[in-house]
């Protein structure tokens, strides 16, 4: 699978210095999360989305499942932005989270992801999900890189 055919990773016209991120096929899971943008600053990938009503729970906060999905996708957006993988068959091996606060609907939310270590097959990452000055979630995860064809 090539980036150009299946994946969207290109300069965002409305956000200079940010890349659009996601699948071109709107029937895939990522489309549920909405528009996502990413950039790397000082070794940290910043992945951003704006949660809508479809991401809310009955308390009108961002649903934990939506946060987990966002974090999972953010790991891959970060790995791609670091130049470590391209679109393809990389997989999440584990994802650990601690929910610290509630995310607000309608305001941008950002995963700040850093690479802890890269081995021949694995990427170890960690980060925070923030909204403004509020920490919503902290996380760590491991990605297995795609198998060479």
Condensed to tens digits (0 to 9), the pLDDT of residues 61-103 reads 999 999 999 999 999 999 999 999 876 678 999 999 999 999 9
- CA 35 and chain centroid, separation: 11
Q: Mean pLDDT across the stretch 110-135?
A: 97
Superfamily of domain 3-144: Hotdog Thioesterase (3.10.129.10)
Q: pLDDT tens digits for 43-64?
A: 999 999 999 999 999 999 999 9
Closest C-alpha to 126, from 115, 137, 110, 111: 115
DSSP H or E segment with residue 37: strand 36-41
Q: Map out the domains of the chain as residue ranges.
A: 3-144
Q: What is the pTM of this model?
A: 0.90
């Amino acid at each position: 699978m090539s980036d150009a055919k299946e994946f969207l990773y290109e300069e965002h016209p409305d956000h200079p210095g940010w890349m659009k991120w996601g699948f071109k096929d709107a029937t895939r899971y990522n489309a549920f999360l909405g528009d996502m943008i990413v950039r790397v600053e000082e070794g940290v990938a910043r992945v951003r989305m704006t949660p809508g009503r479809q991401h809310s729970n009955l308390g009108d906060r961002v649903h934990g499942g939506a946060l987990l999905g966002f974090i999972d996708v953010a790991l891959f957006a970060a790995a791609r932005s670091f130049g470590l993988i391209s679109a393809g068959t990389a997989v999440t091996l584990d994802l650990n989270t601690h929910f610290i606060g509630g995310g607000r609907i309608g305001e941008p939310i950002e995963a700040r992801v850093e690479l802890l270590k890269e081995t021949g097959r694995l990427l170890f990452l960690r980060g925070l999900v923030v909204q403004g000055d509020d920490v919503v979630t902290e996380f760590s995860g491991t990605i297995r890189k795609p198998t060479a064809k």
